[in-house]
Structure 1
Amino acid sequence: MMRWRLPLFIIAAVITLLFLNGIVWRHEQTLAQGHAVLLPLRPVDPRSLMQGDYMALDYQLTQQLTHDLMAAPPAAGQALAIVLGTDSDGVAQFLRMAKPGEQLPAGETLVRLKWEDNGAHLPSNSYFFAEGEATRFTQARYAIFRVASDGTALLAGLADERHNTIPDRIKAPTSARSNP
């Protein structure tokens, strides 16, 4: 029995690593190739002593869905599928709840959310940034999500009121040196 433990452990470790790498690869594909969606924010700027500087994100979309569905709320933990369209400025607008197996026309995007006890939630409710860079992120008015064809949404960044991406880090200016 002892001689099988090490090979079984190695096989289990390889399977686990392959599974985790598959998840990472799928998320990287979504961030690289997913459809970009701008969602208006209702930002709050806290600071966590354990985690550093971050912005708690609250979305107008989830507030609207929570309000609309409170009369007959879904079960806690239930997945929701919604359809978004974009306005002339490229900002996502809620169109309707998606029907199972529905084929969406061009210009519409399927997004999956989750219903918790207190309402609808997107997968990302906070955005972490380097300490001391909070002032740049106070300009954030939109969350940039990349959405895969199956409706999986990943937070890719934040944008200002003119839809310009707020970079994560400021690059230090390079100085030109003159030779004596």
Structure 2
Amino acid sequence: MRSKWQDFWVMAEMEENAALRANDVIQEIPCEAVPEYAQSVDKMFKARNYQRPCIVFRETFALVARFSSYKLLLAVAVELGLDGYGGYINTTYLNAWLGIRQYLRSIDSYPCGKAGHMYVVLKALYGLEQFGRERNSELIQWFINLGFQGSLTEPCLYYRLDEKTIVYALLYVDDILVATNDKKYKEKLFEDLN
């Protein structure tokens, strides 16, 4: 790589590879363990345009917040006297389980530990057509499990109203806007998301 940013990109790649390992995104398996119907793995990860609908993935649509939803949430926050916080959900895509298994041969920057082995991709990975939908489905379920309810009119807006705590959370891919009257709850929410 010939760039003044070379060190930055190498460090970013190392961090991403560490996140893949830490989150158990891919698992090394013997080539014999790959099902017969998945033998065309050579082409599957060269570029995402090799993925075939209904074989490699079924659905790709993922909800994202409209910008008018941000305006609405901020207006509600001002009206109710809530504090607003913005955040980034780190490695959000590496936490969503894939519905359909993907297979990947050893690559230079992420080699297999043994000869005759390859990887099975267990969780969403950048570049897969369906990764946005998989991530979105996981986040929706995560918020519901925490006791949040989804807005009927704003698909990426979630809220939780307790006796003393009001929390609104608006998602846009891997960014989040939270409006709440409980700073400690916000800190725990952000910690759990990352």
Q: Normalization by structure 2: what TM-score?
A: 0.29
Greater percentage in strand: 1
Higher relative contact order (CA 8 A, sep 6+): 2
Larger Rg: 1
Length-normalised TM-score, structure 1: 0.30
Which protein is richer in helix relative to its size? 2
